[in-house]
């Protein structure tokens, strides 16, 4: 039965496909390999999630070494959900990528580009699937190094400095994470997450464990771009190739959020993190700052990719806000928003990729009047914007609903009001796009452009459709997220 090896295949297939891309040295063949692998990984991930939902936890022993000595791959509803998100976005983005990459990356580098993408995919899936703390660090480095390469391939020369800055910050973050893991290893003598969860409570008030928590919090916050550690993100997103921006924005920060949840709730335990250490209070302040400051900055941005990058920082604020309410509802909101924002931002960045194909730099000025010449793309951006704002019948509404619910559960009326207020900021920055695209006299270039090719439009619209579909049918997203949240909070799922 090949299905029992799914947890290993999830990582190994893209890892092996990457050198294959380099060997074939052919742009088209490399793309085909990456495409096939991406879709295969989606198939594997959905299989894993389905099994995790029905059978509970899947434990896979790599090389048949029994945990905690050997490396264990462990899939439960929490990371099963993440695997599906990452591989789904990967598959859609890969389908989209050919025309976009042809336009933005020199043809001689295509096979390297796709190889880096596959490494990145492999790393992200590996972080999610593994149950071993050191393994997490290894996969984190694989995905990060690949991401630096992908970002540096952007056409703008500033992509190089952006990538360099991300490299420095990412490395510091990874170092902090490995220091944290090291401190935990020091105190418990184990690297297996499930085993750590057993042993950490016995030593939880020792200084090394508290230091480990601090290092892990800061290290992961860097990777997930929690305000004020987000400074690497806007440039990285703005200058990377369109397809990379969409993929990284929809997956990389989400995987980092998963790491945070995994360490907070599985390893350290909900009661320790939420009640004995003041994590929620700090997260609350930083989340609110992210929501308001980053959204306000987004309002003033002229470059649309940069604008959406700042909006991502703000949305990450919503995600961590759910954690800071310290309740199962809040955690559900976090998980749902993780998915929803992944899909929404993926859709928006792909659509910007469609525009970039026609007008190169997508700015408020360059897309004036583009609603007339690229109606499908522009309308997709409007729908994605609805989801970002949280209009009912879009996914954005569902997660904000749970967030408000979590705030009300705690009796924090003011927080509910703040959540709604910050949504208004999203209205403002999305309105600037709508105004430029529909109500302004066309810019000279925007007048002559034609609609993007179907190979790009269809995948982008698939994500837009997902925004609407999951806004109406919440069984999958909310159902799984609720189960996962209860699992994390320590209740029976």
Partner 1 sequence: MTGSAVPFAALTLVLGGMLLPSLRGAARATAVLLLPAVALYFVWSVPDGAGATVRFLDYDIVPVRGDRLSRLFATVFAMMAFGGGLFALNQKRALELAAAFVYAGSAIGAVMAGDLVTLFVFWEVMAIGSTLVVWSAGTDAAYNASLRYLMIHLMGGVLLMAGIAGQVAVTGSIAFERMDLSLWPQWLILAGFLVNAGGPPLSAWIPDAYPEASYSGTVFLSAFTTKTAVYVLLRGFPGAEILVFLGLIMIFYGIVYALLENDMRRILAYSIVNQVGFMVTGAGLGTEMAINGAASHAFTHIIYKALLLMSAGSVLFMTGRRKCSDLGGLFQSMPLTAACGIVGALSISAFPLTSGFVSKSMISQAAADGHLALVWLLLAAASAGVFLHAGIKFPWFVFFQKDSGLRPPDPPANMRLAMILFSFLCIAIGVYPEPLYALLPYPVEFVPYTGEHVASQLELLLFSGLAFFVMLDRYLQRTLTITLDVDWFYRRLGPLAARALVGGGFRRWEFLLRTLERVAGEAGAYLYRHHGPEGRLARTWPTGSMVLWVAVLLASYLVFYYL
Query: Which residues are at the interface with partner 1 (CB under 8 A)?
Result: 161, 164-165, 168-169, 172, 176, 207, 210-211, 213-215, 217-218, 221-222, 228-229, 231-232, 234-235, 277-278, 282, 293, 296-297, 299-302, 310, 398, 401-402, 408, 472, 474-475, 478
**Smallest gap, in angstroms, from Cβ of residue 158 to partner 1?**
8
Q: Which two tokens stand for residue 11?
A: 């990582």
Residue given tokens 């050198």 in the structure block: 19
Strand partners, 74: 59
With beta carbons less than 8 A apart as the criterion, state whether 346 and 250 touch: yes
**Smallest gap, in angstroms, from Cβ of residue 278 to partner 1?**
5
Q: SS3 breakdown of the chain: % helix, strand, coil, rounded to 5?
A: 80, 5, 15
**In this complex, which beta carbon is closest to partner 1, that of residue 222 or of residue 261?**
222
**Smallest gap, in angstroms, from Cβ of residue 226 to partner 1?**
9
**Smallest gap, in angstroms, from Cβ of residue 322 to partner 1?**
15
Strand partners, 222: none
Secondary structure (3-state) at 72: strand
Q: Which two tokens stand for residue 83?
A: 């695997």
Exposed, middle or buried by CB within 10 Å (0-12, 13-18, 19+), for 472? exposed
**Smallest gap, in angstroms, from Cβ of residue 168 to partner 1?**
5
Q: Which two tokens stand for residue 118?
A: 């596959």
Residue given tokens 């992509």 in the structure block: 159
**In this complex, which beta carbon is closest to partner 1, that of residue 213 or of residue 443?**
213
Nearest to 395 by CA among 314, 312, 469, 483: 469
**Smallest gap, in angstroms, from Cβ of residue 365 to partner 1?**
13
**Smallest gap, in angstroms, from Cβ of residue 336 to partner 1?**
10
**In this complex, which beta carbon is closest to partner 1, that of residue 95 or of residue 235?**
235
Secondary structure (3-state) at 393: coil
Residue given tokens 């994590």 in the structure block: 279
Residue given tokens 């694989």 in the structure block: 142
**Smallest gap, in angstroms, from Cβ of residue 223 to partner 1?**
12
User: What does the alpha-carbon distance between residue 321 and residue 331 come to, in Å, rounded to a whole number?
Assistant: 9
Residue given tokens 């919090």 in the structure block: 217
**Smallest gap, in angstroms, from Cβ of residue 42 to partner 1?**
27
**In this complex, which beta carbon is closest to partner 1, that of residue 55 or of residue 207?**
207
**In this complex, which beta carbon is closest to partner 1, that of residue 57 or of residue 231?**
231
**In this complex, which beta carbon is closest to partner 1, that of residue 142 or of residue 236?**
236
**In this complex, which beta carbon is closest to partner 1, that of residue 157 or of residue 207?**
207
Secondary structure (3-state) at 303: strand
**Smallest gap, in angstroms, from Cβ of residue 474 to partner 1?**
6
**Smallest gap, in angstroms, from Cβ of residue 195 to partner 1?**
23
**In this complex, which beta carbon is closest to partner 1, that of residue 69 or of residue 413?**
413
Secondary structure (3-state) at 260: helix
User: What does the alpha-carbon distance between residue 238 and residue 97 come to, in Å, rounded to a whole number?
Assistant: 17
**In this complex, which beta carbon is closest to partner 1, that of residue 46 or of residue 474?**
474
**In this complex, which beta carbon is closest to partner 1, that of residue 205 or of residue 372?**
205
DSSP secondary structure string for all residues of 307-329: HHHHHHHHHHHHHHHHHHTTSHH
User: What does the alpha-carbon distance between residue 222 and residue 109 come to, in Å, rounded to a whole number?
Assistant: 30
Strand partners, 61: 72
User: What does the alpha-carbon distance between residue 357 and residue 34 come to, in Å, rounded to a whole number?
Assistant: 21
Residue 286: which residues within 8 A CB-CB, separation 6 or more? 221, 226, 227, 228, 317, 320
**In this complex, which beta carbon is closest to partner 1, that of residue 20 or of residue 405?**
405
């Amino acid at each position: 039965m090949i299905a029992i090896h799914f947890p290993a295949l999830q990582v190994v297939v893209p890892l092996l496909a990457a050198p294959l891309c380099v060997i074939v040295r052919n742009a088209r063949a490399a793309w085909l390999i990456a495409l096939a692998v991406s879709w295969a990984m989606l198939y594997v991930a959905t299989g894993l999630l389905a099994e995790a939902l029905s059978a509970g936890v899947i434990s896979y022993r790599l090389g048949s070494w029994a945990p905690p000595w050997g490396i264990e791959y462990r899939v439960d509803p929490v990371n099963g959900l993440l695997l599906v998100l990452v591989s789904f976005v990967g598959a859609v983005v890969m389908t989209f990528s050919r025309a976009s990459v042809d336009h933005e990356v020199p043809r001689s580098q295509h096979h390297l580009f796709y190889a880096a993408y596959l490494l990145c995919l492999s790393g992200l899936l590996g972080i999610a699937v593994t149950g071993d703390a050191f393994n997490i660090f290894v996969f984190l480095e694989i995905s990060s190094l690949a991401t630096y390469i992908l970002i540096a391939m952007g056409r703008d020369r500033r992509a190089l400095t952006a990538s360099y800055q991300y490299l420095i910050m990412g490395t510091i973050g990874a170092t902090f994470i490995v220091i944290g893991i090291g401190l935990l290893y020091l105190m418990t003598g184990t690297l297996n997450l499930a085993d750590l969860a057993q042993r950490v409570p016995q030593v939880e008030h020792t200084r090394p464990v508290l230091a480990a928590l601090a290092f892990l919090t800061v290290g992961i916050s860097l990777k997930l771009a929690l305000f004020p550690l987000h400074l690497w993100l806007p440039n990285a997103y703005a200058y990377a190739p369109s397809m990379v921006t969409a993929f990284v924005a929809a997956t990389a920060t989400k995987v980092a959020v998963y790491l945070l949840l995994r360490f907070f709730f599985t390893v350290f335990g909900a009661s320790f993190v939420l009640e004995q250490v003041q994590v929620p209070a700090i997260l609350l302040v930083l989340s609110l700052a992210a929501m308001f400051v980053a959204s306000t900055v987004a309002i003033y941005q002229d470059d649309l990719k940069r604008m959406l990058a700042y909006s991502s920082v703000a949305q990450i604020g919503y995600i961590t806000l759910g954690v800071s309410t310290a309740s199962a509802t809040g955690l559900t909101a976090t998980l749902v928003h993780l998915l929803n924002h992944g899909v929404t931002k993926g859709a928006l960045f792909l659509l910007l990729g469609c525009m970039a194909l026609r007008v190169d730099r997508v700015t408020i000025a360059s897309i004036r009047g583009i609603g007339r010449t690229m109606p499908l793309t522009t309308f997709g951006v409007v729908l994605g914007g609805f989801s970002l704002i949280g209009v009912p019948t879009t996914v954005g509404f569902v997660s904000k609903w749970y967030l408000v619910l979590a705030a009300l559960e705690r009796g924090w009326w003011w927080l509910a009001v703040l959540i709604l207020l910050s949504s208004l900021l999203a209205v403002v920055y999305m309105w600037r796009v709508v105004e430029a695209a529909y109500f302004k006299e066309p810019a000279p270039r925007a007048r002559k452009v034609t609609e993007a090719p179907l190979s790009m439009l269809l995948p982008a619209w698939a994500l837009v459709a997902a925004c609407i579909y999951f806004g109406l049918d919440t069984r999958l997203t909310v159902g799984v997220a609720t189960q996962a949240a209860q699992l994390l909070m320590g209740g029976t799922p």
